[in-house]
Structure 1
Amino acid sequence: MASLSIARADALGPVRLFARLLSAALLLIFCLPAHYLWRAARQASPWPRLFLGGVARIFGAAVEIRGLPLKRDVFFIANHLSWMDILVMAGTTGTAFVAKDDVARTPVVGWLARLNNTVFVARTDRRSVAAQVDAVRAAVEAHQPITIFPEGTTGDGGGILPFKASLLAVLSPPPRAMRVQPVLIDYGHAMAEIAWVGDEPGGENAARILKRRGRFGARLTFLEPFDPAACADRKAIAAEARHRIAEALASAS
């Protein structure tokens, strides 16, 4: 009987995938006209945040917030586990992101990322670092929270990978009075199913999550902010943020 139940559950996976994608599409159809109306009125639009947070819930995330996220003049630095990180972080804080430029070329995803003011950078082109820092600085000037995943890739949740500090040059010195707030992202018991690691194709990872039964925990722990101006340079900022996130991960284990 157990094997029959598993077979039935697996058979329903494609149904869950289709239902979740359809629900996300319907939510987009509802949110998009309102977003453009807000933009036409030159008002800050809440709709990207509402859409991305709604999609996170549709895809199964039950977000738990620990700590107090800053609302503006903040640069979030977080560990990176999955593309779900973007949905849960944006839905919680309204943050924009710094992302690899190949995201911009991804159908639909790139377009949605632009709606949320994503800053695209070519991380493999060291010659363009100065231009990338300028692009991030311009985004910071808009007062929208910005999130960066300085590991540069996704991990399995068992530890924190080394941080790449190049884009943190935007904070050394910061363009104005602002704070860096480290964030620990954790999917708890569902980590092995949610984390995107190794050479797994993105489509397979997304399909696995969307076919998954039930909901999964997505805990965001917002740690104590610090003043980047008090750090000697970008490497010191990266080291301080990584230390705090690693400590929080060790405490949560």
Structure 2
Amino acid sequence: MIDWIRIILSLFAIFLTTLALAPLQILALYFDWPLRRRLPRLWHRVSCRMLGLRIHSHGVLDTRRPLMIAANHASWKDILVLGALADVVFIAKTEVAAWPVFGTLAKLQKTIFVVREEKRRTGDQVNEIAARMSDGEVVVLFPEGTTSDGNRVLATKSSLFGAAAAALGDDPDAVVHVQPVSIAFTRVQGMPMGRYHRSIAGWPGDVTMLPHLVGVLKAAAIDVDVTFGEAVEYRRGESRKLLAATIESRLRAMLLVHLRGRYKRTDEA
């Protein structure tokens, strides 16, 4: 009974935060105020705290621009975690826009929606991503193209790095910085996360949202280690396949360090 009271109160707090911030975010989007980039971070931080996600960050976000973050992807919680650490914009499949609640929240953050199945629209979508990066926004890409079980990094898709190439523009000396960021769900209530709790970390496509959300809330305290790796400089004429392979290798190495408990925590968001 106590668990359900806590769950209800947590969801109510997130609801109130959304109710308070949404009108201001709508105005910020309409008038294109810089505030539109900062408000979502506040919402994500509150949501993480209410859901019991304790974030431990290692390293720093690269200060150079244009910048693309390439992160491993286990579940919807990755978005909350990254959104709580930095002012970022996400790339999502177009179906997300129609999802109840989450679609509205994604639109309020000015998420870039892409239709992967329609190749004729790929050029326009890539150009939009490139334009946002050139404008100084930090774009988050999940190069695996889908969610994993949280125990590994899936093969990255080099085609998804097309936006990095487009962001180079016409300048032959231009550089786009692609920073690998690993997200590792490592502990539940202070104890190492074993296989029994891995379902809380990952979100397979065949699991419905509500039961998964309840499982996260019941866990009450989940530690997440986020590592900002060294950015890769990408220039005109360089291989996207090599870029994808380099990012995949670095993500896998950083993730395994935390899953195996070999990293000493020094910072908590």
Between 1:145-154 and 1:28-37, the stretch displaced more is 28-37
CA distance in 2, matches of 1:199, 1:159: 18
The residue number in structure 1 matching 2:265 is: none
1:117-196 alignment, distance < 5 Å? 117-172=110-165, 174-175=167-168, 176-190=174-188, 192=198, 193-196=200-203
- 1:173 deviates by 5.6
The residue number in structure 2 matching 1:84 is: 77
Relative distance call for 1:174 and 1:35 in structure 2 (3 A) is closer
1:226-241 alignment, distance < 5 Å? 226-229=232-235, 232-241=238-247
Between 1:35-44 and 1:93-102, the stretch displaced more is 35-44
Q: Which runs of 5+ in 1 are unaligned?
A: 1-10
- 1:56 deviates by 1.3
The residue number in structure 2 matching 1:98 is: 91
Structure in which a larger fraction of residues adopt strand? 2
Letter in 2 for 1:221: T
The residue number in structure 2 matching 1:29 is: 19
CA distance in 2, matches of 1:39, 1:21: 25
CA distance in 2, matches of 1:34, 1:98: 23
CA distance in 2, matches of 1:37, 1:130: 30
- CA displacement 1:56-115 (0-9 Å, x = unmatched): 111111111100112553100000011010011011011110011111001221111111
- CA displacement 1:31-73 (0-9 Å, x = unmatched): 2343345456643112111111211111111111100112553
CA distance in 1, matches of 2:67, 2:42: 20
Relative distance call for 1:122 and 1:173 in structure 2 (3 A) is closer
CA distance in 2, matches of 1:59, 1:228: 37
Secondary structure in 1 aligned to 2:241?
Answer: helix
Give the TM-score of the pair, scaled to structure 2. Answer: 0.82
Relative distance call for 1:201 and 1:39 in structure 2 (3 A) is closer
CA distance in 2, matches of 1:196, 1:40: 34
How many residues are matched?
A: 242
CA distance in 2, matches of 1:207, 1:125: 35
CA distance in 1, matches of 2:3, 2:145: 31
- 1:249 deviates by 2.2
Give the TM-score of the pair, scaled to structure 1. Answer: 0.87
The residue number in structure 2 matching 1:3 is: none
RMSD: 2.1
The residue number in structure 2 matching 1:44 is: 34
- 1:230 deviates by 7.3
The residue number in structure 2 matching 1:56 is: 48
Secondary structure in 2 aligned to 1:97?
Answer: strand
